[in-house]
Chain A
Amino acid sequence: MWDYAPDRHCDPVIELTELTKRYGEKTAVDHLTVTVRAGTVTGFLGPNGSGKSTTLRMILGLNAPTSGTVTIDGKRFADRPRGLRHVGALLDAQDIHGGRSAVAHLKSLAVSNRIPPRRVGEVLEEVGLAEAGRKRIGGFSLGMKQRLGIAAALLGDPPVLLFDEPLNGLDPEGVRWVRETFQRLAKEGRTVFVSSHLMSEMENTAERLVVIGRGRLIADESLREFARRGSRTTVLVHTPEADALSVLLAAEGAEVEPAGDGGLSVAGLPAARIGELAWRDNIMLAELATQNASLEKAFMELTADAVEYAAGEAR
């Protein structure tokens, strides 16, 4: 339902051109060229350490690119005297001084951008922190800090919103609320760019995906297109005569792999044809199920060789 319609005209809002960041020998972001458009939630996916946060920081001018450019609405963000009316950002919910109250924190941000102080109460209300406004931020849970960060991002009613891993630390109700909030903000015509290292988080949130690995662009397309890229459809088969069936299917050109608990994972043949072959040779089937390629799997496969800190093979 969220398929991106190319005919819907949207202005490019965030434009990364050959964006590169090196820290000494290590290249964190490698010639990244991406355009993020208005009116959709764009997911920004990549394994841990793939350069998502560095990219977001460069978009905001917090880190200077080694080469390349990044603009928001055609202008470098760092060149704007004040930011909150242009971009709302939640980079890290912990990027906050714990000694202040939520109200004092938001008020200090509001006055710097000449935003009416009554907005502070409104955004706190909106994120459900109205009660906790006078308490010290240091005592907040991670989920509460995420909400406070979102409140700060909304303060200036900006057309562009950036969120770095906003679902971390949220309870299921919080996750649902964040998703609805993001989709609402996008429907209002805003640009919403949300990073995550978990495909499952993006599945019900984003309409478009920008996927990176080791700082390089892997995919930039709609969620549906991305899902199609995933592994071929496989069929899970359970049978007492696994060996015989394997030989049979392999002869038909299918790729057969053991799928744990005695089952077989078959690629290259549809379930109907497998059933037909088994029936012909009198092989009893206990289970025959088509496995749809999941987004998660597509993501894992695409980024497999780009994973920076992979765990060792499970033993």
Chain B
Amino acid sequence: MSSMITTDSQSPVHTRVPTEHKPRFQDLCRMELIKVASLRSTWLVLIVAALATVFINLNGVHSDLQYLDRDLAHPFKARPDGQEMHFVYDPLFRSLSRISVQLMMLGSAAIGALTMFGEFSTGQIRTTFAAVPRRDGVVAAKVVVLCAITTVLGLIVSLISFLGGQAMLASRHVGLPITDHDAQIAIAAYTLVVPVCALVGMLFGAVIRNATASIVSVVAFLFLVPAFFGGDKYHWVVRLRHLFPGDAEETLTFWHGPDRDPGKWPAGHTHAWLVYAGWAVLSIAAALFVVKKRDA
């Protein structure tokens, strides 16, 4: 085909585009990376979420310190029912706090949704698929880039939150070393919930394709729907609650200190990790399916 084309005489500046190279997956990842990097809003959302998360965590531990000395000086308190209560400080509760990880979950879910609806709602996806007709390659590259960015960011946030928090607690001898088993699992869980939520967001973006509707739905799914399964009256309700990524994160960051009550029917670590993996796999598979099946 290219032998018919004699462009050189026509346009003075013209790089001969070499004939087809072997297609490589890394090229698609570079494409997605350029797309992400060239959108200011992406970085803005991620950086604001990360900074806010670190601030809330460090500030939480810092404000604990003033009460900590008093409580540690008088660890035994009489409860109204006459029983004696032993004060034990939970070194993970503030340092890897729940409210701040929800910020990270929210930010990454929004970014995940954006990678899909950003293309579908603008029509950009048709330009993308005209360049790369193999749709699964495009989705796979999006998954890789999205997971890489959110995992790295999640890890940085977790490490700064954990190490910063424990450093403040060190002088009171209630902090955890990073070699602690619970601490390591908590850091891993605090990190990995970020890419998991990004993938869930990507799924909602791919299915719904509209900016506002995608974001509202993924927020409802991650934060509002689990609220319907509160309490511990019925086992099946608790079981359903344990299927949400946020609940799995709570299970994994739980500190198993003395006198700690994990609540009625707690989920196990394996179960929680499987919930993470399940949502990741389900999101990727479903996103691949809808993107391949539906007209662009």
A interface with B by C-beta (< 8 Å):
38-39, 57, 60-64, 73, 77-85, 87, 89, 91-92, 94-101, 104-105, 107-109, 111-116, 118-119, 122, 125-126, 152, 156-157, 159, 184, 188-190
Task: Judge whether A116 and B15 touch: CB under 8 Å.
Answer: yes
Task: Judge whether A57 and B132 touch: CB under 8 Å.
Answer: no
Residues of A within 8 A of B122 (CB): 94-98
Residues of B within 8 A of A85 (CB): 17, 19-20
Q: Given A83-B132, A125-B13, decide whether A189 and B5 contact each other with a Cβ distance below 8 A.
A: yes
Q: Can you list, as one digit per residue, whether each of B131-161 has a CB less than 8 Å from chain A (1) or not (0)? A: 1111001000000000000000000000000
Task: Judge whether A113 and B131 touch: CB under 8 Å.
Answer: yes
Interface residues on chain B, number (Cβ under 8 Å): 49
Some 12 contacts from A to B, beta carbons below 8 A apart, are A38-B4, A57-B296, A60-B133, A80-B134, A81-B132, A83-B132, A95-B125, A95-B126, A111-B31, A112-B27, A188-B7, A188-B10
Task: Judge whether B123 and A96 touch: CB under 8 Å.
Answer: yes
Task: Judge whether B123 and A189 touch: CB under 8 Å.
Answer: no
In chain B, positions 87-145 with a C-beta closer than 8 Å to chain A are 118-119, 122-134, 137
- CA–CA, A247 to B10, complex, Å? 61
- CA–CA, A72 to B85, complex, Å? 78
Task: Judge whether A190 and B5 touch: CB under 8 Å.
Answer: yes
Task: Judge whether B10 and A89 touch: CB under 8 Å.
Answer: no
Residues of A within 8 A of B30 (CB): 111-112
- CA–CA, A83 to B253, complex, Å? 47
B interface with A by C-beta (< 8 Å):
1-2, 4-7, 10-11, 13-21, 23-24, 27-28, 30-32, 34-35, 37-41, 118-119, 122-134, 137, 295-296
Task: Judge whether B132 and A62 touch: CB under 8 Å.
Answer: no
Task: Judge whether A62 and B38 touch: CB under 8 Å.
Answer: no
- CA–CA, A94 to B131, complex, Å? 16
- In the complex, what residue of chain A is closest to B39 when comparing beta carbons? A99
- CA–CA, A108 to B118, complex, Å? 15
Q: How far is the CB of A138 from chain B (nearest CB, A)?
A: 10
- CA–CA, A189 to B131, complex, Å? 22
Q: Given A63-B295, A119-B15, decide whether A159 and B5 contact each other with a Cβ distance below 8 A.
A: yes
Q: Given A100-B35, A108-B35, decide whether A116 and B17 contact each other with a Cβ distance below 8 A.
A: yes
Residues of B within 8 A of A79 (CB): 133
- CA–CA, A87 to B31, complex, Å? 19
Residues of A within 8 A of B31 (CB): 108-109, 111-112
- In the complex, what residue of chain A is closest to B11 when comparing beta carbons? A126
